[in-house]
Amino acid sequence: MKKAQPHSLLGIDQLNIAEIDSILKLARRMDPRRAPQLLRGKRVVLLFYEASTRTRTSFEFAAKALGATTTLITATSSSIEKGESLIDTGWTVTSLGADAIVMRHPNSGAPYLLSRFVPVPVINAGDGLHQHPSQALLDALTITNHKKRLKGLRVVIVGDVFHSRVARSNAVLLSKFGAEVIFCGPPDLVPDIAATIAPGVAACHDLDAAMHGADVVMSLRIQEERLAGKHISLDDYIAQFQVTPQRMKLARPDAIVMHPGPIVRGLELADEVADGPQSCMHEQVANGVKVRMAILATVSKGAR
C-alpha cells in the first residue's frame, strides 16, 4: 500500500502527546485578528463532500487569518457530481496549485485514501463515523482552559456514540492523556465494543451512574432518524439520557458542559444546561478557529 503524506492530519491516533501539546500550545497563542502571516501566498482547498457550518467556516477563517487564500469545493457544485473519483479530484486540485487540502467526507477513511495519492498535506475535517481530529483538539483546548490537566479527569460522553466521529476522536485523545472516558447512551447507540477503542474507556447505559463525579459532560447530537428501528423511543431517550439540571447536580460542582454542535434543542440537552453557566459551547466554537490555525501552521511548516 502507498504511504500517506507524512504531514497530513488524518486521525488522533497518529499524534503523540508531545505533538498534541505542541498544537494546543500554539493554539493558545493564536489570535485570529493579529496572526503571523505563516501561510502567505498559500492555497488551501476546502473539499467538502458533506454539509458543515462550524468546521468549514472556522477552517476558512483560520487559513485566511494566516494569510492563505481558500477555495471551497462542495460535492454538489463540482465535477464530483459528475462521478469524478476521489483520487482524480485530488489530482485535479493539486494540479491547480493547492498547497493543502482540508476534507470532510461521508465515508470513513476517505482522507487516508486521498493522502496516499496527492503530494500535499491532507487535513481530515471529519470522515464518516471515524475521526474528527480538529474537533478533539479544540475540545482538549477548551477543557484545559478550565481544568489544570487532562490526566485523571472523568469525562462523560453521552448520546449517539456509534455514529459519532467526535466521540471516537475525543476518546482516543483523552485516553492518551490518562483521562477516564465514559460513553453513555442506550445499547443501540453505545455498543459494548465501543469501550475497546482505547484504554480507560468504558461503556455505560445509565446516565445517572455515569454523571457521578464527572468533570466534563460532553453531549452529542441525536439525529431522530437514527433512533428509527432502534429499541428506544424519542420520549424514552429524553427521559433517560437528556442532560438536565437535575443530572448536572450529580456531576462535580465545577463540571463543564460541552457539545460539538449543532444542538437539537430539547432533545439531548435541556435549555437550562445548554445556556447555563457551566456550558462552554460558545468557547468551543471560538477555540475552533485557534486550533485550526495551529493545525494549518503545523502542517504547512512540516510540509515545507
Partner 1 sequence: MKTDRNALLISGGRVIDPSSGVDREMDVLLRDGRVAELAAPGVLKAVAREAFNAKGCIVAPGFVDLHVHLREPGQPHKETIATGTAAAAAGGFTAVCAMPNTSPVNDSVEITRWMQAPERDAMVRLFPIAAATVGSLGEKLTNFAALKKAGAVAVSDDGKPILDDDLMRDALRAAAKLKIAVVQHAEDSRVTAGCSMNLGPMSFRLGLRGMSNAAESDIVRRDIALARETKAHIHVAHISTAEAMDAVRQARKAGIRATAEVTPHHFTLIDENIGEFDTHYKMNPPLRSAADRDALIGGIADGTIDAIATDHAPHAFHEKQVEFERAAMGIIGLETALPIAITVLHHYFKLPLTRIVELLSSGPTRVFGLEGLGTLAPGAHADVTVFDPAKKWTYDASQSRSKSRNTPYDGWTFTGKVVATIVAGKVVFEG
- Per CB under 8 A, which region of 62-70, 161-169, 265-273, 281-289 contacts partner 1? 161-169
Q: How far apart are CA 50 and CA 69, in angstroms?
A: 21
Residue from 69, 74, 78, 108 touching partner 1 (CB under 8 A): that is: 108
Q: Return the residue matching grid coordinates 483521562.
A: 179
Q: How far apart are CA 256 and CA 4, in angstroms?
A: 37
Nearer to partner 1 by C-beta: 115 or 279?
115
The SS3 of residue 171 is helix
To the nearest whole angstrom, how small is the minimum distance from the Cβ of residue 111 to partner 1? Answer: 9
Site string for partner 1, 258-287 (x = CB under 8 A): ------------------------------
The SS3 of residue 262 is coil
Site string for partner 1, 172-191 (x = CB under 8 A): -------------------x
Q: How far apart are CA 159 and CA 268, in angstroms?
A: 7
Q: How far apart are CA 141 and CA 120, in angstroms?
A: 27
C-alpha Rg value of the chain to the nearest Å: 19
Per CB under 8 A, does 112 bind partner 1? yes
Residue from 197, 204, 285, 286 touching partner 1 (CB under 8 A): that is: 197
- Per CB under 8 A, which region of 57-65, 101-109, 213-221, 225-233 contacts partner 1? 101-109
C-beta of residue 238 within 8 angstroms of C-beta of residue 211: no
Q: What are phi and psi of 126, to 5 degrees?
A: 115, 115
Q: For residue 132, indicate whether it is catalytic.
A: yes
Residues in contact with partner 1 by CB under 8 A are 1, 4, 10, 85-87, 105, 107-110, 112-113, 117, 127-131, 162, 165, 168, 191, 193-194, 196-197
